[in-house]
Amino acid sequence: MEQVQLHSPSCFRWAVRRRSACVSVCLTFSYQPHCLGGHTLEPAADTTRKLSKMLSSLVAKRLVNGLCQTAWRPAVTGLTSSRGYRGEAPDDTRGDLIEIPLPPWEEKQGEPIDIKRRRLLYESRKRGMLENCILLSLFAKRYLNTMSETQLQQYDRLINEPSNDWDIYYWATEAQPTPDVYQGEVMDMLKEFTKNRDQEQRLDAPNLEYLDKGSQ
C-alpha cells in the first residue's frame, strides 16, 4: 500500500491497493482547516469535489495502464515466437542424398599367413564402433596367433564382409541369430569369449606390448 499526503489548504490522503490483477483505488480525504490571522479559511465544497475526482481519475488510469502493460507483455512475446516458429522449412525429403554402396569384400589371394595375422590384428582394433574394437582386439590377442589358416579365413570374412558394425556385435553377443555363412569354429569361439566367464575387466583395447613379449 502507498500513502501520499498533499499539503494544501485542505490535506488529502489517498491510498492505493494492488492485489494480483485487481486494482482498487481508495481515496480518503481529511479536511484540516488552516488558520490565518486568527481566522479559519475553509475551501469551497466544489473545489474539494473537483480535486477529489481529478486525483481519483489520474491514479486509477496510471495503475490500470501499468498493470495492462505488464500483463500483456508475455502474451505478445509468445505470440511473436509462435509466428516465427510457423516459418520453418518444409520437411526434408532427402532427395539430394546419394548413397554410395560399399565394394563387396574379396578374400586376398596368395597372402602370406604372417602378413594376414598382422592385418587382422590391426583390423580387429579398428573395426568401427568402440564395442567391436574392444571385443575383437581382446579376442585377437588370445586366439589370433594360434589360428589355423582355415580359421584365419573365417575370421577375415567375419570382421570384414558385413557392412553393418552392429551386426557383428549382435551375433557375438547372441542378441540376433548368426547367418549360416558366418557360422563356424571362429564364430563359436567368439561367442564363448564374449560371455566372459572369468569376469575379466574389458574397458579398452589391450596394449600391443604383449607382441614383444611373445616374440622373445
CATH number of the domain to which 122 belongs:
1.10.150.250
Which residue is it, cell 496510471?
62
In a domain, 84, yes or no: no
In a domain, 108, yes or no: no
For the stretch 51-81, pLDDT in tens is 667 766 776 677 667 655 655 454 444 444 4
Structural domain count of the chain: 2
For the stretch 26-54, pLDDT in tens is 444 444 444 444 444 455 566 666 666 77
> Where a domain ends, among 52, 68, 84?
68
pTM of the model: 0.52
The answer to whether residues 61 and 117 belong to one domain is no
Q: Who wins on pLDDT, 156 or 15?
A: 156
Quick one: cell of 148? 589355423
> Which structural domain range is residue 42 located in?
2-68
The answer to whether residues 124 and 211 belong to one domain is yes
The answer to whether residues 120 and 39 belong to one domain is no
Q: What are phi and psi of 74, to 5 degrees?
A: -65, -35
For the stretch 82-135, pLDDT in tens is 455 555 666 767 777 777 777 787 888 889 999 999 999 999 988 778 988 899
Quick one: cell of 185? 569354429
DSSP letter string, the chain: -EEEEE-SSSEEEEEEEEETTEEEEEEEEE---EEETTEEE---HHHHHHHHHHHHHHHHHHHHHHHHHHHHHHHHHHHHHHHHHTTPPPPP--TT----PPPPP-PPTT--HHHHHHHHHHHHHTSSSHHHHHHHHHHHHHHGGG--HHHHHHHHHHHHS-S-HHHHHHHHTTSSPPPGGG-SHHHHHHHHHHT-TT----SSPPPTHHHHHHH-
- Which residues are paired to 23 by β-bridges? 18
In a domain, 83, yes or no: no
**Of the candidates 175, 179, 172, 157, the residue with the CA atom closest to the CA atom of residue 202:** 172
